[in-house]
Amino acid sequence: MGACIGANERFGSGDQDLNQHRLEQVISYSPALESAYREIAELKDKLAQEKLYLEDEIRGELDFEGIVGQSSALRHVLNLVGTVAPSDSTVLLLGEAGTGKELIARAIHERSRRKERTFVKLNCAAIPTGLLESELFGHE
């Protein structure tokens, strides 16, 4: 009878038989709901693992994301990226507009120890000379 009191509190004080029936339905669905929830959680984990695997496969195929070319000069630059990325060295990228400086910067970032942190790009040419120092290092 205690279960009926709980059902009355949960479902209202209407017909006791109806409340008992509702309670029995909820109880009968519980194992099925728990099983469905476990299955969904397992599928979600499996999907996350497959996503990571596919991302690794894509990275392996592209090697340097978005950088296309096989010239000796580009191979040299990509070797430099591989050399400098694991270090804490400061890198200054120079070049004309459209030469791929941002792609190289992203490649360095993706191979650095800081790859889990945010990559912030900054167009220094758009900042007036007098403000560049305070923008980069703070105002004094």
Question: Which helix (H) or strand (E) is 97 found in, with range?
Answer: none
Q: Which pLDDT score, from 0 to 100, does residue 7 have?
A: 46
44 pLDDT more than 90: yes
CA dist., res. 137 & res. 139, Å (int): 7
Are the CB atoms for 65 and 110 separated by under 8 Å? yes
What spatial distance separates the first Cα and last Cα of the chain, rounded to whole Å?
76
Quick check: helix, strand or coil at residue 64? coil
Q: Which pLDDT score, from 0 to 100, does residue 85 have?
A: 92
Tens of pLDDT, residue by residue over 98-138, are 888 888 998 999 889 988 888 888 777 888 888 888 877 77
Are the CB atoms for 6 and 22 separated by under 8 Å? no
1 pLDDT more than 50: no
Tens of pLDDT, residue by residue over 50-85, are 988 887 766 654 467 678 777 899 889 989 998 999
**What are the backbone angles phi and psi of residue 58, rounded to the nearest 5°?**
-65, -45
